[in-house]
Structure 1
Amino acid sequence: MSPDLALGTYRCRDIPQAAVHAVACGASWIDTAPNYQHGHAQTRLRPVLAGNPDLRVSTKVGFFTPDIATAAREAGVLTPAEAASGHCLSHRYVAWQSRRNVAELGRVPDIVFVHNPERADHAQDAITNAFTALEADARAGRIGGYGVATWTGFEGAFSVADLLDIATRCGGPDHHLAAIQLPVSLVMLKPVAQAMEGTGPLAAATEVGLDTFVSAPLHGGELPGMVTAELAQLIDPGTTPAEAALRVIASTPGVKHVLLGSGHAQHWEAAQRILALPPLPDKTLHEVIDVLGA
């Protein structure tokens, strides 16, 4: 089954316009965070979500802007030291930020991701604190479910099995852990190599029924300038570098949603076409891994 296109609002310059293109191309998810666009991403999404009630939305807890830090300190949920750090996963802060997310989005988020918990000194303790707060929100109907969005966390700070264990301790067998999000691209190729062998976070998440969101598939827009004509030819003759890069991600086992942050209609249309194609042969993916290394 081909993965879905989704709008990722990190570094997205014009969120409302990007959302229009995303919806036109059949995207069913928008991913955001309270600290994106200097703290304005969620409020800029509110009219989009109101006008498209079938759109699903994921947001995050963890990072915050100086303005959010000031509000949180005034609310008594951040200490001065926590406010200065720019990131917090304490139970009281996560519960406060989760309620704030709902107010800014104008609706209950379908998933709230714990944002880069590997940043904490004791990542699994931080995840436990956050999951405890988010489990309470899920049971009260204030969020649909929760997950972890990470950049390097699956490199040793925690595993999918660890997340399941923590969620079970926080919420029992009927916990609301729903998804993971991680970067996968021709630069961040290790998850592809692992998935091809049936290992790693994508395979583990798929095995236990968790949703998977892939961030930075074009490595922040840098990949089209990095992919050579020879590599694009190896991946899929006749495609552009950006299309070739997306072709690999769309063909990776376990990838369910690919986050694209472009504000250009032609980029969405091209991505829609690429994701609708059949997966590349395993032989091609193994050749790409051999050429680039994992």
Structure 2
Amino acid sequence: MTAALGLGTYRCPDVTGAALMAASRGADWVDTAPNYEHGQAETSLAEVLAAHPGLRVSTKVGFVPVNAKDLALRAGVLTAGDADRGHCLAPDYIAWQLDRSKRLLGRVPDVVFLHNPEHGCGKNEISSRLHAAFVALEEACSQQLISAYGVATWRGISSGLFDVPMLLELAAKAGGPNHHLRAVQLPISLVHLAPVAQALNGHGPLADAAAAGLEVFASAPLHGGEIPGMVTPELSELINPGWSAAEVALAVVASTPGVKRVLLSTGSPEHWTQAAEAVGRPPLSPDLLRRVVDVLGT
């Protein structure tokens, strides 16, 4: 395929176990966030990262972990309103959370994503919110708190609130031509097929990211485990009748032009091995991907 398989830790009840399993089976990337595993995900990953120095890690900033809310309030980096909303991208909070993430992980994260910057934000506010956050992230890069940053979004791009060219423009404004924006993360699956269709036609977020040298992380490739039950016999027959529904779904995502990493949340060795085999096969042809889009629509 055109992509590598990485571990996503959203909804993983045992992050340590899942990361150890994935690392022992060749995973080179794990993606997490301070609010995952009830606020314990970064702490849970520390021992795995120490034992596997070649395992790269990305985390996020935005959603406020329940177990860190009072700490942030006492530190004066979180307002009561943002604490109630559970989400904050104010520069002071970003700096505080990045320092905390580095300490909990036990190392500098390879990428830090702004986590759903569209959360509670309208069209008139998003540009200023992103720019202020990028300035804070560029400062963190200069202080070696992080190596690079990106944007992880669920609906910010699909809703038209922002696009990759806008992100690049704001990053250049915040950090100059040598800015540290390196990645975007968005849902790509048989449910979220619009990015696939756009990429096949040479436009959209994946094409824009590829042109700028940004790494694309595909999140929720199985849509929270729902997709295998949605794969029809017709679709399986079209792609490969011998594959499982999960293999079919993962093959489509991993074959999409521009996708560099597919993030799978699982602690099951069986599911991981099956997914690694699916992602490791030769990519599906663009013509076949177009037929999948025609069958399912966007």
Quote the Cα distance in structure 1 between the aligned partners of 2:279 and 2:198. 21
- The SS at the match of 2:176 is helix
1:27-46 mapped onto 2 (5 Å cutoff) = 27-46=27-46
Shift of 1:136: 0.5
Cα distance, 1:237 vs structure 2 = 2.1
1:2 CA drift (Å): 2.6
> Bigger CA drift: 15-24 or 172-181?
15-24
Deviations 1:173-205 (A, max 9, x none): 111111000000000111110111111111110
Q: Which of the numbers 150, 164, 180 marks the counterpart of 2:153?
A: 150
1:138 aligns with 2:141: yes
1:211 equivalent among 200, 211, 215: 215
Unaligned runs of 5+ in 2: none
Q: Which moved more, 1:61-70 or 1:97-106?
A: 61-70
SS at match of 1:100: helix
How far residue 232 of structure 1 moved from its aligned partner, in angstroms, is 1.4
CA shift at 1:20, angstroms?
2.1
Matched AA of 1:236? N
CA distance, structure 2, for counterparts of residue 283 and residue 172 of structure 1:
39
Q: Secondary structure at the match of 2:136?
A: helix
Which structure 1 segments of 5+ residues have no match?
none
**Cα distance in structure 2, aligned partners of 1:50 and 1:129:** 33
Letter of the 2:28 partner, please give it. S
**SS in structure 2 of the partner of residue 6 of structure 1:** strand
Name the SS of the counterpart of 1:148 in structure 2: strand
TM-score normalised by length of structure 1: 0.98
Give matches, 1:1-294, under 5 Å. Answer: 2-119=2-119, 120-121=121-122, 122-155=125-158, 156-294=160-298
**Paired residue type of 2:117:** P
Partner Cα separation in structure 1 for residue 182 and residue 280 of structure 2: 25
Once residues 71 and 31 of structure 1 are traced to their aligned partners in structure 2, the CA distance between those partners, rounded to angstroms, is 24
Letter of the 1:196 partner, please give it.
L
More displaced 10-residue stretch of structure 1: 14-23 or 82-91: 14-23
* Contact persistence 1:5–1:26 (CA under 8 A): no
Give the TM-score, by structure 2 length.
0.96
C-alpha distance in 1 between matches for 2:74 and 2:31: 28
RMSD: 1.0
After superposition, give the CA deviation of every residue in 1:230-255 in whole Å (9 maximum; x if it has no partner). 21121222101010001111110001
1:127 Cα offset (Å): 1.1
**Contact 1:25–1:272 (8 Å) recurs in 2:** no
The letter for the 2-side match of 1:243 is E
Which stretch shows the higher mean deviation, 45-54 or 277-286? Answer: 277-286
The one-letter code matched in structure 1 to 2:118 is: E
**In 1, Cα distance between the equivalents of 2:127 and 2:67?**
28
- What is the deviation of 1:67? 2.4
Deviates more, 1:77-86 or 1:64-73: 64-73
**SS at 1:107's partner residue?**
coil
Identity percentage over the alignment?
A: 55
Paired residues in the alignment total 294
1:127 and 1:69 mapped to 2: Cα distance? 22
* Maintained 8 Å contact 2:164/2:205: yes
Q: What SS class does the counterpart of residue 77 from structure 2 fall into?
A: coil
Could you tell me how far 1:285 is from its partner in structure 2? 0.8
